Amino acid sequence: MIPCVLHASNKQINPNQFLCIQKNTLIIVKIQVFWAGMNALANQYQTNLLIDRASDDIEIVSRVRAFIEKGDYQPGDRLPAERHLIGKLGMPRGALRRAFDALEREGVIWRHVGKGTFISRDSQEALPNVADWTTDVARQITPLRMVRARLCIEPALASEAALNASASAVTRMRIAQERASAATNWEDYETQDDLFHRAIAEASDNLLLLGLFDQLNKVRRAVAFGAVTRSTPRPSAEHSSFAEHEAIAEAIERRDRGAAQDAMRAHLQSVSKRLFEEG
């Protein structure tokens, strides 16, 4: 910093003093710009870490889920000890426990300290009846009634997500949103669109609401299958859902329950009009 001395007796600042003030101001501005840039880099680095961690967690949960399905475990069966699974699945203990956390929230497993990890009895026994129910409903319901059901449930889920979403839940939502925007065909887009909406349901942090969403989504897939025609091989850059997804995600991130609910409602109405020509 350049030393400047201004005398109280001086009624005017001489040219040298004015030049000194200008130089000091310029130095301060440069320092502020430097630190602003460093903070931006640090924030971007932290965001990238969260995205990488969430992507890894999604893969890890999928691997553990596949292991359970292939192992033909029955309700109440105990899974192998963590040390065995770590070697079998090739993942560190921390990653395995994060996968267990996610599967426990979904009701796939339950854990008893000192005894182990078990296949959830209630959720597994209920699956056959639920599957029959969703198949039966899908055969009877019209696309318009299916959309109306979504309008009753998903805006409320978005509101709950704005209230309860964790940082990792928001990151999962953002990853699905970005992958949907980058999809090169409709199949990939629809997969990521499903994940985006499910990430919002997960962000509600309510197992019952997540279960309701999953059953609604099964019916939605069955009703929409064969009822939707596409005129292009992939979503265009101007596909309306991209901006609508951004509005939903942004409202959830800033914890605005009303805006999240309104954005989800507007999105579903847009989808209904675009796909089924219904409002």
The tens digit of pLDDT for each residue in 48-60 reads 544 445 555 677 8
Q: Residue 132 corresponds to which tokens in the numbers above?
A: 């029959």
For 140, half-sphere exposure in the C-beta direction (CA atoms, 13 angstrom radius) is: 6
Which domain covers residue 154, as residue numbers?
Answer: 126-276
Same domain, 100 and 140: no
Ramachandran area for residue 116 (φ above 0: left; ψ -120 to 50: alpha; else beta): left
CATH of the domain at 115: 1.10.10.10
Q: 122 pLDDT exceeds 50?
A: no
pLDDT tens across 64-90, in order? 888 888 888 888 888 999 999 988 888
Tell me if 40 is assigned to some domain: no
Q: 116 pLDDT exceeds 70?
A: yes
Same domain, 130 and 172: yes
pLDDT band at 26 (very low <50, low <70, confident <90, very high): low
Same domain, 160 and 66: no
pLDDT tens across 158-202, in order? 999 999 999 989 999 999 999 999 999 988 898 899 999 999 999
Exposed (0-12), middle (13-18) or buried (19+): which is 99, by Cβ within 10 Å?
Answer: buried
Same domain, 140 and 267: yes
State the residue for tokens 């007796």: 9
Same domain, 131 and 260: yes
Proportion of the chain above pLDDT 90, given as a percent: 32
CA distances from 257 to 195, 207, 264, 266 (A): 21, 19, 11, 14
CATH of the domain at 159: 1.20.120.530
Tell me if 30 is assigned to some domain: no
pTM for the full model? Answer: 0.58
Domain finish residue from 119, 136, 159: 119
The answer to whether 175 and 54 have CB atoms below 8 angstroms apart is yes
